[in-house]
Homo-oligomer: A and B are copies of this chain.
């Protein structure tokens, strides 16, 4: 969601995303907002079927991942967390500024007991000058938030069961996307699902799509997207010919890390049901894979896409086959 009164549903688990309501066309740049605006959002932590938990923007609307929260550098977000569950839990952000009482950790007694409501304040800031023509970084980044209190003092139980989401802090002037997707590699699952039930994200050819990738759990992963590539920097785009950034299509996605980038759907490659997956072979083989459906520019289905989707749903994701493919007769999950 772009925090400013309007909401945008998270794409996560749904395969769809609304353009942030305040967004103008990317060519127009960002709307003029006052620096340092303070906004309030209420988030409901709820139990979900399948032994999951989720965060949601209204009662009964919790999802895994939770809603994408957005700020501009300089903004403050007051997050009122309503714990509707019978578990101790919290919300802990990455990247932004908070005092110890908003840390979201039992270390600082910063959590919600069962049934409790508590407000966490997340601030952000712009780049500031330091000595030597260097600058202390601003808050802009593709960050994330997660529970830090359920199960253990590090929230291992809450994170494992779905209490996580994306937190995007934009620098003024950043290009806004048409669509936003959140992909969380969490132990052997994507958004707590296994193929073929993993999210199918959708966009039309040429739409500017923003991916936020988040790692959780206790295993290592690499995120790979077919037929699209991005710069391994703050925006995924280059600043020009002298920008030295690596261009990649596969990146480590390990617990607690996150990154984001924008691509033009199907740019240079055309529409189709493109795969994204963990490139650790034992992980992709056993279900850490999903689809990025790039439709034709008019929203119609491109040739072959439905056949690919059908294949994906018939796809074995068979641990026994995966094990047999290993030359050493052993599948190592980590």
Please list the residues of chain A having a beta carbon within 8 angstroms of any beta carbon in chain B: 26-27, 29, 51, 94-95, 97-101, 103, 105-109, 123, 125, 127, 130-141, 143, 150-154, 156-157, 159-161, 173-175, 187-188, 215-220, 222, 224, 226-227, 229-252, 254-259, 264, 267-270, 272-275, 277, 279-285, 289, 304-305, 307-308, 311-312, 315-316, 318, 321-322, 324-328, 331-334
Do B326 and A160 touch (CB < 8 A)?
A: yes
Do A156 and B226 touch (CB < 8 A)?
A: no
Residues of B close to A312: CB separation below 8 A: 107
Residue of B nearest to A155 (CB): B281
Do B281 and A217 touch (CB < 8 A)?
A: yes
Residues of B close to A318: CB separation below 8 A: 152
Do B100 and A130 touch (CB < 8 A)?
A: no
Please report the C-alpha to C-alpha distance between residue A249 and residue B124 in the assembled complex, in whole angstroms.
14
Partner of A256, one of B141, B222, B238, B325: B222
- Write the nearest CB–CB distance from A135 to chain B, whole angstroms: 4
Do B332 and A136 touch (CB < 8 A)?
A: no
Do A315 and B153 touch (CB < 8 A)?
A: yes
Please report the C-alpha to C-alpha distance between residue A306 and residue B316 in the assembled complex, in whole angstroms.
52
Residues of B close to A269: CB separation below 8 A: 97-99
Do A131 and B234 touch (CB < 8 A)?
A: no
7 pairs of A and B residues whose beta carbons are closest in the complex: A256-B279, A151-B325, A233-B244, A100-B272, A157-B325, A156-B325, A218-B282
Partner of A268, one of B125, B141, B173, B331: B125
Do B331 and A218 touch (CB < 8 A)?
A: yes
